[in-house]
Every structure is written in C-alpha cells, then in structure tokens.
Amino acid sequence: MATRAAKSSMKILVVASTRPNFVKVAPLMEAFGQALKHHSGLTVKLVHAGQHYDDRMSRSFFEDLGLPSPDIELAIGSGSHAEQTGHTMIAFERKLIDEQPDWVIVVGDVNSTLACALAAKKLGIKVAHVEAGLRSRDRTMPEEINRVATDVLSDLLFTTDRGADANLRAEGVDSDRIHFVGNVMIDTLLKHKEQACALQWWKHLGLEPGQYAVVTLHRPSNVDHREILTGICSALQTIQGELPLVFPIHPRTRKMAITFGLLDSMSQWPNVQLLEPLSYLQMLSLTSNAAVIMCDSGGLQEEALVLGVPCLTLRDSTERPITVELGGSVLVGNKAGTIIAAVRSRLANGWPAMGCPELWDGAAAERIVRVLLERSCAEGFN
C-alpha cells in the first residue's frame, strides 16, 4: 500500500473582517500559538479583510482581545453586498497566490466569509468554516446565503451545537467533515468576563447593575426601512420611561436614523444614553449587569444565554435556536407593541431558568486546532 509523502511545513490563513469575527478568531490565534510550540513547520497568519475598518469597529477589539496585528490587510471597506464580496475575492485571490496556504479558516457569516471561502476553493485550497451549520431558514437574510454557500464549499465544518450538525447532515454533508466543537465566542467571553466586570462600566454611565437595558440594532431588515425603524424607536421611547436604556449605535443604524429624521428626537429622550460603538470589554461589562438585552445580534443572543441575562431578540427568526430552546432568548419581532409587552412582562414576572449548551466551556478553539492538525497529520504533515 502506498504511503503519503511526509510534508514538513503547513501554512494556514485565518480570516476575520468584523467585530464578531475578531471575537471568534482571538481564541483560535491563541490556540494556534500553543500549537506552534510543538510544530516547527506550522505557519499561521491572520488576515483582516477590513469589512469593519475604523478604530471603533476594529482596532479597539484587537487591543481588548490581545489579538496580534494582522499579517495581511485587504482594506475592503464598505459597499453593497456584491461590491464587498467581489472586491474581497479579488484582493484575497492575490494574497492566496502569493502565500500558497494549505488551509483557509473562515468564521461566521459575513460577506468576507463567503468571498474568502470561494476564492480559496477556486484555487484548490482547503477551507474550514468555524460556526458552520447555523440556519434561520430565512433566505431574505444575506447572512443565511453566506452560511449555506460557505458550508457547501468547506472541507471541514466546525459546529457550535448538535442542531447545526443535524442541519448539515440534512443537507447531505458527509459526517466526516462535521465536527462539533463548541462555541469560540464563548471561549472569549469566559476568558474576559472577570476583567470586563471589573470595569464596572455601568458606573461610568451613572447606572446601577440590574437596573437598565442594553439595546443594539444593526440588521438591514430592522434599520433600513423607515416604518420599521420608526416603530422600534417608538417602542424604545416608551420603554425608556420605565427602564433606563443604553444604546451603543452601530454606524449603519446611526446613518439611517439621521436619514429618517429620528436621531434628533432620540437624543432628547431623558432616560436613554446614545453611545458610540463600545469596545469589547466595555460592552461585556454592560451586558453582564443588564436587566435585559434587546438586540438583533446572533452573537449577543449566545452571550446573553451564558451570562444568564434575558435577551429579547427583535427578529422573527434566528439561526441560533438553541438560545430559545434553553430559555435565554425570546423572538419578539420588530413591532412596537410586542416589544413593549415583552419588556414589561420580563420586569413584572421575571425570567425562567436558563440551560447551558453542551461544550460551551471555553475550549472550542483548542478542539478546532486539534482536529485540524490531526487531519493534516493524517494527510502527511509532521
């Protein structure tokens, strides 16, 4: 029987592009750093695609999370979905030709996730997808298209829960490509929670723990339509009369609030603090001590579950149903009356006990690196 020729070197490119991506790759880069001590032929480079590119949306996260400076920066910037995807593919393809990696690791579901996976596969380079198999069943969400297409392309699919495994198997993915490893976002949360809580960022805002709500909005389905965003803001105006609100405003949301003539009136509400985007540690300090979180963010749904803080998700569907199944999140949609009623119910009646997902234990990144290296060793890397 023929044996594989030994391969003394292996290069991996890890791609990140947005704030949630940085949270996911931070533990990966740390785990690879440990692996480098035992595999002299291993090279790992961090690629910043640049979908979030200013200091508020990028640099502060690198500092908080202890991420190394990117080895490669694509500097894609903003644009339509097609523009971002196309520009990323063109820029990343050039780097792939220069670098000749053995593996490309992509995370999450943003445009650069799909673009980099597609560019790599066109060149015959193996792709691993971290956070694979998540499905909202809503194909109107651009992220859902990115998830499904990236999973089809990927050679290794690393999942956060058993439901994601089932989704992939139902779509015909071979079981040997699927690896349930846990949640890298929770690796980061557990590592930094104590440091974040020590900040007591709520004090800087004149608040008391457990006596305020945190609000985030960024999805186009909520913020790009005048009627919908106006309705959400109407709900927030009512709620802030009953519970202080902290609202770090995403640049996209701020832009649309100005376009629709909403921001000036919001700034006059007496019980809401409209903030610039916060650093990871500042935000974690606030969410850890909130009475409730209102958001349309998938990552915040997961973090809220682990933190034990109720999350009202301003969407009709979620790609993270485990957060609903285990009692951490409730889907309330984006209608004003429903949002108000959900907050009042939480304040009046409390919240049921929450469960803890399997393998959300702070070691997901270590499992990913172990699987990847075992697979590569089986293919000849030593």
Residue pair 26/66 in contact by the 8 Å Cβ criterion: yes
Phi-psi region of 96 (alpha: psi -120 to 50; beta: other; left: phi over 0): alpha
Helical segments of the chain, H only: 19-36, 60-65, 81-99, 111-122, 142-153, 162-170, 184-199, 201-204, 220-223, 226-239, 251-259, 263-266, 280-288, 298-307, 321-325, 336-349, 364-378
> Is residue 93 within 8 Å of 76, Cβ to Cβ?
no
Query: CB–CB of 84/107 below 8 Å?
Result: no
Instruction: Establish whether 218 is a catalytic residue.
Output: yes
Of 51, 55, 46, the C-alpha closest to 14 is: 46
DSSP 361: S
Amino acid code (one letter) for 210: G
Catalytic residue (one of 129, 204, 218, 225): 218
Strand partners for 158: 130, 179
Vertex 20: Cα angle to 14 and 26 (nearest 5): 45
The two tokens of residue 210 are: 């457990």
Which residues does the annotation mark as catalytic? Answer: 218
